[in-house]
């Protein structure tokens, strides 16, 4: 019985060198049925994240050995779970860099426990989307593959290729591309994107979606000045084009 319950609990790895803060977060999350492991330095965190593949990593930026930014950069291609960065107060540069390196979300340190919990739950809900919301997994032909021009998306393997060349996307980037792909040719508003991707309403100020669009364009070799694949529709949102050319 205990083993069954344990397998249902989400695995959270907390990378934090402040022992007192780490203990407080661990105690709080444990009350909400998370299994929490703590790593107190960046060097050990890299290998443990890759080896253990927890459901979610809470990653502080200031760490001994390796910074949180470096940890994020090194594990992102091998770790398929979610990375929630803890950034310094009002430090937009840290937030932007973390998202650029593949973090899925961020909180400002020291975050209120209930806000931290809500962000964790919002990220983990993405993995439940297939069963909780069938509209998010429907495709034109109920196929596991989506083809948009030169772009191919395999849903079950969460794999993307362009001109038959594999494109390495983070979980957040894949979710955003998939959301746009399901509405190819339609404009998807920022409100809808934030609600579907992050699990809460758009406040009109959050620019993280814009940054993810920028990262997607870069990885998909889409000209940021004159994009052919992901177009910005001013005042409305973003549109994934059904047909796009080399230039």
CATH number (domain holding residue 194): 1.10.10.10
Helix, strand and coil in the chain, % to nearest 5: 40, 20, 35
176: tokens are 């955003």
Lowest-confidence region among 71-80, 130-139, 150-159: 130-139
Are 174 and 213 in the same domain?
yes
Domain range for 25 is: 2-128
Choosing from 86, 106, 128, the residue where a domain stops is 128
Are 46 and 139 in the same domain?
no
Are 15 and 109 in the same domain?
yes
Q: What is the pLDDT of residues 5-48, one digit of tens each?
A: 445 789 999 999 999 999 999 999 999 999 999 999 999 999 99
Are 152 and 218 in the same domain?
yes
Q: What is the pLDDT of residues 179-199, one digit of tens each?
A: 899 889 899 988 888 777 665
Does residue 247 form part of some domain? no
Choosing from 102, 128, 154, the residue where a domain stops is 128
Are 121 and 177 in the same domain?
no
What pLDDT shows up at residue 141? 42
| 77: CB partners within 8 A, 6+ apart | 168
Are 120 and 137 in the same domain?
no
- Mean pLDDT for the chain overall: 81
Are 107 and 26 in the same domain?
yes
Are 17 and 118 in the same domain?
yes
Are 8 and 23 in the same domain?
yes
What pLDDT shows up at residue 130? 41
Choosing from 94, 128, 162, the residue where a domain stops is 128
Distance of alpha carbon 190 from alpha carbon 245, whole angstroms: 25
Does residue 188 form part of some domain? yes
What pLDDT shows up at residue 1? 40
Other C-beta atoms closer than 10 Å to the C-beta of 3 total 6
- CATH number of the domain within which 50 lies: 3.40.50.2300
How many independent structural domains does the chain possess?
Answer: 2
pTM of the model: 0.60
Are 57 and 71 in the same domain?
yes
What pLDDT shows up at residue 148? 86
Beta bridge partners of 154: 145, 159
78 backbone dihedrals φ, ψ, rounded to 5°: -105, -15
Contact of 196 with 159, CB cutoff 8 Å: no
Are 64 and 145 in the same domain?
no
Distance of alpha carbon 33 from alpha carbon 5, whole angstroms: 9
Does residue 246 form part of some domain? no
What pLDDT shows up at residue 94? 62
């Amino acid at each position: 019985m205990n083993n069954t319950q344990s397998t249902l609990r989400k695995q959270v790895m907390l990378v934090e060198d402040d022992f007192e803060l780490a203990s407080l977060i661990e105690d709080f999350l444990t009350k909400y049925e998370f299994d929490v492991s703590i790593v107190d330095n960046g060097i050990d965190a890299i290998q443990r994240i890759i080896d253990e593949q927890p459901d979610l990593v809470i990653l502080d930026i200031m760490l001994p050995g390796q910074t949180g930014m470096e940890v994020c950069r090194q594990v992102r291609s091998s770790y398929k779970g979610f990375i929630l960065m803890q950034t310094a107060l009002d430090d937009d540069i840290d937030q932007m860099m973390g998202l650029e390196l593949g973090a899925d979300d961020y909180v400002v340190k020291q975050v209120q426990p209930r806000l931290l919990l809500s962000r964790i739950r919002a990220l983990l809900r993405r993995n439940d989307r297939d069963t909780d919301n069938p509209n998010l997994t429907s495709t034109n032909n109920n196929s596991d593959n989506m083809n948009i021009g030169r772009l191919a998306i395999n849903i079950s393997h969460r794999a993307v290729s362009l001109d038959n060349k594999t494109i390495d996307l983070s979980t957040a980037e894949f979710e955003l591309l998939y959301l746009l792909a399901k509405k190819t040719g339609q404009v998807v508003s920022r409100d809808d994107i934030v609600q579907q991707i992050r699990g809460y309403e758009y406040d009109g100020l959050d620019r993280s979606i814009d940054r993810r669009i920028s990262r997607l364009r870069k990885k998909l070799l889409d000209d940021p000045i004159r994009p052919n694949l992901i177009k910005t529709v001013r005042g409305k949102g973003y549109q994934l084009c059904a047909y796009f050319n080399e230039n």
